[in-house]
Structure 1
Amino acid sequence: MRESRPDTAAPAKRSRRKEARPAELLEAALALFVEKGYAATRVEEVAASAGVSKGTLFLYFPSKEELFKAVVRENAGRKLADAQREAAEHTGPTQDLVREYICRWWTEYGGTPAAGLTKLIISEAANFPDLALYYQSEVVQPAHDLLKHIVQRGVARGEFREVDPVLAAHLIVAPLVQLVTWRYSLAPCCPPEQLPDPLALLRLHADVVVRGLSVGAPGDGAAAPQPAAAPPAQPKP
C-alpha cells in the first residue's frame, strides 16, 4: 500500500488566492463604484463580487472610504507616478513628450474602466468633499503639475514660446476630462457613426497643442514673414 503524500497544492493555491485578494477587491470595487456611484455601493456587494466575505474585505480596507482611496491610487495615482518618472527621463524634444502624454493618457486611463472615476467624482464631489479633495491631491494636481513642468521644459529649451504654464496645463487637460465625461454620459446615447475615434481625436488635440506652443506660432512675438514687394509700376507710354 503506497504511502499518501501531503497535499501541498492546496496550501499553495490558498496562498496565491490570499495574495490576489486585494487586487480582486479593487477590481470589483472599481466596477461597482463606476456603475452605481460611491453612495449607492455597499461593501457587502464589493466583497460578494470578489468572492470573499465582508470581514475579509475589512482585513485589507478598514472602511469604504479607504477602499475608494485605494481604487484611486491603484488606477490613477500609480500611473501618474510612472508618467512623472518617464517624463523626467525623457531626453528628446518636448513636442514628443506632449504627444506621448496625451495619447498614453487614453490607452492607460481614458480608455479603461478607471476613467469612470472622473465622472464619479464630478457627480458626487458636493456630497463627499473629503473624497473630492483626495482625488484632487492624488490625481488632478499631480497631472497638472506634470504638464506644467513639461511646458516649462519646452520653454527653457527654446522649443516653446513664453506662456503661463499653469494655464497651458489647464488647456491641455480640459479636452481629456470632457472626453471621459462624455464617454460616461451622452456617448451611449449617440449613434455609432457619430462617435469620433478617441485616439484620432487626441492625436489632433496633441498636434494643435504642440503647434500652438511651438516657437514661431502666431502670437509668439516672432517676426512674421513679409509678402514679397510688388514690382514698381511701369510708366505708360
Structure 2
Amino acid sequence: MESSTGAGSSGPLWRRRKEARPAEITAAALEVFADHGFAAARLDDVAHRAGVVKGSIYLYFSDKEDLFRAVVRSAVVPDMETVRGAAERFDGPFVELAPRLLLGAAAVMSRPSVSRFARVVIGESRNFPDLARIWHDEVVSPMIGAVARVIARAQARGEAREGDPSLYAFSLVGPLFTAMLFRDVFGEASDDPPNLDRLAEQHGQTVLCGLLAAPPA
C-alpha cells in the first residue's frame, strides 16, 4: 500500500511538486532571459534549468512572451509593489516621504534582476514591442502613477509647487533609472559607477529644494 506521504503520483509530495512547477519555471526563465536576452532565449533551455520537459511549460504559459510577463511579475513587481504601497500609505509630510521613496526605489533598482530585465526590454522592444508593453504596464506605469499621486496629495496640502505631478514623478525617479542602466552597462568599465543609495540621498535633497512650496529647513 502506497504511503500518503510518499512520492507516488497521487501523493502530497507529487501535488506539492506540481504546484511548485510554475515558480520553478519562472525562476529558470529569469536566468535564461537575463543571460541570453529575449530573442535568443530558448524554452528548451528554460525547461532544462527547471528540470521539466519543454511541454510542461505550455501547461502554465501560452508562449515565451507570457512566460516573460510571469517572470516580471514574480521577480520585479513584488519589490516595486512594496515601495509603492509604503509610499501610498505614508501620511506624513512630503519632505519626509521623498527621501524614503527614493531610497526604497534605489534598493529595488540595485538588484541585478531589475537592471538586467530593463536592459533586455530597451534592447529588444523594437523587435518585440510586447516586451515594452509588459514592462510599462507591470512596472513603470504603476510606479510613476503612485509617485504622481503622492505628489498630487502634497500639492493639495500646499507642500509642493504647482505643476504636472506625472512630470515631477519622472524628474524624481528618472536619475535613479539612468544610474541603474549606467551601472549595468558600464559597471566593469567605469572606475566610479554611481552608488544608487548615495544618489537617492543627494538627489532627494536637491529635488526637494525645487519641488517644495517652501524650502526644507
TM surpasses 0.5: yes
- In 1, Cα distance between the equivalents of 2:3 and 2:115? 47
Instruction: Say whether 1:70 aligns with 2:70.
Output: yes
State the one-letter code of the partner of 2:70.
A
Runs of 4+ in 1 over 4 A off after TM superposition: none
State the one-letter code of the partner of 1:213.
L
Shift of 1:124: 0.8
Q: Is the 8 A contact 1:118 1:177 kept in 2?
A: no
Partner of 1:20: 20
Partner of 2:153: 153
Shift of 1:163: 2.8
Q: Is the 8 A contact 2:148 2:165 kept in 1?
A: yes
- In 2, Cα distance between the equivalents of 1:195 and 1:88? 31
Shift of 1:30: 1.5
* Partner of residue 6 from structure 1, selected from 3, 7, 10: 3
Q: Is the 8 A contact 2:83 2:105 kept in 1?
A: no
- In 1, Cα distance between the equivalents of 2:109 and 2:18? 27
**Which deviates further from its counterpart, 38-47 or 79-88?**
79-88
State the one-letter code of the partner of 1:159.
E
- In 2, Cα distance between the equivalents of 1:112 and 1:207? 26
Partner of 1:222: none
* Partner of residue 199 from structure 2, selected from 172, 187, 201: 201
Structure 2: tracts of 5 or more residues without a match: none
- In 2, Cα distance between the equivalents of 1:39 and 1:186? 22
Shift of 1:128: 0.7
Q: Which has the larger radius of gyration?
A: 1
Structure 1: tracts of 5 or more residues without a match: 219-237
State the one-letter code of the partner of 1:90.
F
SS for the counterpart of 1:39 is coil
Partner of 1:99: 99
Partner of 2:30: 30
- In 2, Cα distance between the equivalents of 1:104 and 1:38? 28
Distance 1:200 1:126, change over 3 A: same
Q: Is the 8 A contact 2:115 2:180 kept in 1?
A: yes
State the one-letter code of the partner of 1:206.
G
- In 2, Cα distance between the equivalents of 1:62 and 1:5? 35
Shift of 1:216: 2.6
Q: Is the 8 A contact 1:118 1:180 kept in 2?
A: no
State the one-letter code of the partner of 1:50.
A
State the one-letter code of the partner of 1:180.
M
* CA root-mean-square deviation: 2.2
Q: How much identity, in percent, do the aligned residues show?
A: 35
SS for the counterpart of 2:177 is helix
Shift of 1:80: 3.6
Aligned length: 213
Partner of 1:133: 133
